[in-house]
Amino acid sequence: MFSQKLIQKLKSAKSVSVLTGAGISAESGVPTFRGQEGLWKKFKPEELATFEAFIRNPELVWEWYNYRRKLILEVQPNPGHYALVELENLFSNFTLITQNVDNLHRRAGSRNVVELHGNIERNYCIKCGKRYDDVDFAIELKSPRCDCGGLIRPDVVWFGELLPLDAWEKAEEAASSCDVFFSIGTSGVVYPAASLPQIAKRNGAYTVEINIERTDLSWFMDEVIIGKSGEVLPELVEKLKEAFEEK
Ligand code: BV8
Ligand code: ZN
């Protein structure tokens, strides 16, 4: 399943960066955005994941995030998340960049995590900035109103909003300076996150895609591995550990 070239590249790699999307959480039971059972099937992104939609109907958008928060609290990280924790331990310079807002990488034990699109377990008041980061409290809230009367919003990046600058800078730096770049479980539709594999490629990284199907990014990747991340990643880690043991 893995080319000798990939194993060699990883054996000699000083720095490895990974971009994940909703696909890595699919085997935990979290619906992806654009898949068959996708989150966007019932709704349209512009109807929910935008500031305008929130201002127009705060309760509806808040309810949608609470539906997702409840779902996320009931699921567990899957072998794909845990394999990335092991991969992080094999390299001195490892950056995990995620588009996911489900906090599953941190729950699995990943340490150097760059959350490009925020984190659904965090919230803040758009008027006074007060934080509401207790996810149980958030789930109890029917209407997202702060003590100051302002609206409380999820700490995620909506369409049309800028990504957190420090997160984007870390992600861009990690993509442009790594020897091997993995794009895992993302359809490569949402920008600027989807430009990271190209940035890595342009800067000389060996680029690898792991997905259950080809995507908009596949055509320029050095290697495309078709398979479930929860199965492919643990196997890759095993192969890599064997390769590291060989003299
Ligand atoms: C911005 C947080 C700049 C909220 C999200 C026209 C062309 C190009 C770009 C644009 C355009 N019009 C607008 C834009 C910009 C827009 C964008 O890219 N739109 C797209 C839809 C065209 N981007 C933005 O607005 C970004 N901001 O550009 O600001 C700006 C701003 C102001 C002024 C000037 C400039 C902000 C984007 C962030 C949006 N927020 N999420 C929330 O989650 O509620 S995006 C949302 O989609 C999630 O974060 C998600 O992670 C992300 C990407 O989706 P994927 O993760 O890839 O998930 P998807 O379901 O699509 O795919 C899953 C994949 O997994 C599939 O390939 C599937 O095959 C695979 N899979 C399934 N199972 C498995 C698997 N793989 C492996 N194993 C399995 N078991
Ligand atoms: Zn407030």
What is the widest separation between alpha-carbon atoms in the chain?
A: 65
Question: Atom of ligand 1 at shortest distance to CA of 101?
Answer: 43
Active-site residue flag, 81 = no
Question: Atom of ligand 1 at shortest distance to CA of 162?
Answer: 29
pLDDT-based confidence at 184, cuts 50/70/90? Answer: very high
Ligand positioned closest to the Cα atom of 149: 2
Taking each helix axis as running N to C, give the angle between helix 229-245 and helix 79-90, from 0 to 180 degrees, rounded to the nearest 10. Answer: 30
Residue reference for tokens 């991340």: 229
CA atoms of 112 and 170, how far apart (whole Å):
10
Measured CA distances, 92 to 16, 17, 88, 103, 207 (Å): 9, 11, 8, 23, 19
- Whether 117 lines ligand 1, by a CB cut-off of 6 Å, is yes
pLDDT, tens only, 53-107: 999 999 999 999 999 999 999 999 999 999 999 999 999 999 999 999 999 999 9
pTM: 0.96
Ligand positioned closest to the Cα atom of 147: 2
- Whether 34 lines ligand 1, by a CB cut-off of 6 Å, is yes
Task: State the pLDDT at residue 33.
Answer: 84
Question: Atom of ligand 1 at shortest distance to CA of 99?
Answer: 51
* Catalytic site residue from 9, 69, 117, 228: 117
The percentage of the chain sitting over the pLDDT mark of 70, rounded to a whole number, equals 96
- Whether 38 lines ligand 1, by a CB cut-off of 6 Å, is yes
Q: Whose CA is nearest to atom 9 of ligand 1?
A: 191
Amino acid identity, position 86: E
